[in-house]
Amino acid sequence: MSTILKPENHLHTTESRWFAVYTRFKREKVVRDELIEKGIEVFLPIQKLLRQYGRKRKWVELPLFNSYVFVKITKKEYVPVLSTDGVVKFVRFSENLISIPELEIQLLKRIIGANIPIKVEESEFKEGEVVEIIAGNLAGMKGTLIEVQGKNKVSIELDHLGYTLKLEMPSSSLRRQVFMMEK
C-alpha cells in the first residue's frame, strides 16, 4: 500500500495529527490567532530577526515559512480550519491530505527554540542523503541517494534489498529522512 494511502496519513476521528495549511500572503499570524480562538492546536514557527530600516535597526518576528501554519486536528476540526479567514487550503500531495510526523514538528520546535538565525532554502537532494519514496508503487521504501541526474532521474540504493535501482521519478516523490537527535 502506498505511504500516501495509509490510514495514518489521513484525518482521524479521535487521534489528532499535524497538517500544513497554506495561508494568504502575510496572514500567518492572523490565521494562528483565529485558530487558537477556535481551540485548535496550531504551530507557527517564528524567528526573531534584526532588520535595518535606514539608520534604524529593529527586531522583527517573521514566520520561518511564508504562508504556512501547522495544525494538529481531528476530522471534526477540518472544516473549522478551512473556514478560517486567511486559510487558502490544506497542503496536499497528489490530491491526498498528508499528515506531518510528530517527530518533524518537535524537531522544528527545538530548532526555533534554539534562537539561532535560520535561513530556509528549497534545496535539491544531495548524493548520500537518506530518502524515503512517498509516491508510487515503491512508496514507503527507504534508501540512500546514490546519484541525481536532473529533477526526474535518481539512483537509490534501497536499504533492505542491497541493490541500486535507477529510477525515473520527480524529486517531489522523495522525502528526506529526519532523524531526531538524542538529548
Render pLDDT for 75-88 as a digit per residue (tens, 0 to 9). Answer: 999 999 999 999 99
- Which of residues 73 and 176 earns the better pLDDT score? 73
Q: How far apart are the first and last CA of the chain?
A: 35
Q: Cell 487558502 appears where? A: 88
Residue 16 has pLDDT above 90, yes or no: yes
Residue 151 has pLDDT above 70, yes or no: no
Measure CA 58 to chain center.
30
* Size of the chain in residues: 183
Residue 157 has pLDDT above 80, yes or no: no
Render pLDDT for 74-120 as a digit per residue (tens, 0 to 9). Answer: 999 999 999 999 999 998 876 778 889 999 899 889 988 887 777 76
User: What integer pLDDT is reported at residue 20 of this predicted model?
Assistant: 93
Question: Above pLDDT 90, what percent of the chain?
Answer: 36
Q: Which stretches does DSSP call E strand in the chain?
A: 17-23, 41-43, 46-53, 56-63, 68-73, 87-90, 92-93, 96-97, 130-133, 142-149, 153-158, 164-168, 174-176
Question: Above pLDDT 70, what percent of the chain?
Answer: 81
Measured distance CA(8)–CA(63) in Å, rounded: 28
Residue 2 has pLDDT above 60, yes or no: no
Residue 134 has pLDDT above 90, yes or no: no
Contact 139, 3 (CB under 8 A): yes
Residue 4 has pLDDT above 60, yes or no: no
Q: How confident is the model at residue 7 (pLDDT cuts 50, 70, 90)?
A: very low
Domains in the chain (CATH in brackets) are: 7-113 (3.30.70.940), 130-176 (2.30.30.30)
Residue 160 has pLDDT above 90, yes or no: no
Phi, psi of 38 (to 5 degrees): -80, -5
